[in-house]
A = this chain, B = another copy of it.
């Protein structure tokens, strides 16, 4: 593990067979397997392999991310919640990546979708849920303004994730990244499309809060 964060298997650039093998091994040795950036061919191979070898594993696929858990796996239960917020549909897969890292680590995840800044009322309707979380991950592409607006509404730490969902000048996530770095409120940022890193950083923060809650230290 890196920094106490469960390892993930990056499917991109691997064959379906390699991914199936790596995931099965992870499942058998650590009780869970997290696969990111997988395509349908990876998924098919993995599903088939699991049916043969670990048929009672629970499989949770969201977008291009998948978390498989052995029936007897003893997931930690952290007393902490992360809000994962998206501006629009295209931000979904990046948020999914972040969400399953948090789930795997034992956090409660509250997913709040489709609250982009061009329609403020949808966002304002969710303020109570946003305030109830211990930390928020906000994924947004195009102009990347959502993390700033969310951070202006709550007093807990916000991690911005720029998404490469635009086109034209800055559409590869560079506009969103620059906008989040220039934010006129307080937030920190991860790389473009780096749902994994955002989820892991949120886990580190939430775990510290959980530690303080449960043991006072």
Contacts and interface: CB of A to CB of B under 8 A. Distances in A.
A190 B181 contact: yes
Contacts of A90: 13
A201 B189 CA distance: 11
Interface size class, chain A = 35 or more
How many copies of this chain sit in the oligomeric assembly?
8
A148 B149 CA distance: 12
Interface in A120-173: 120, 124, 134-135, 141-145, 148-149, 151-157, 159, 162, 164, 166-171, 173
A26 B4 CA distance: 43
A152 B118 contact: yes
Interface in A1-58: 2-5, 13
A86 to B, nearest CB: 12
A208 interface: yes
A178 B187 contact: no
A3 B151 contact: yes
A180 B4 contact: no
A124 B103 CA distance: 33
Given A178-B179, A212-B213, A216-B216, A118 B185 contact: yes
A184 interface: yes
Contacts of A142: 182-184
B184 A177 contact: no
A182 B205 contact: no
Most buried by B among A157, A159, A183, A194: A157
10 contacts: A4-B155, A135-B208, A168-B177, A168-B192, A170-B182, A175-B181, A186-B204, A188-B201, A212-B213, A213-B216
Given A175-B179, A188-B197, 18 more contacts: A2-B185, A3-B154, A3-B155, A4-B155, A5-B186, A13-B90, A116-B184, A117-B184, A118-B151, A118-B183, A143-B178, A143-B183, A157-B201, A168-B173, A168-B182, A188-B188, A189-B189, A216-B216
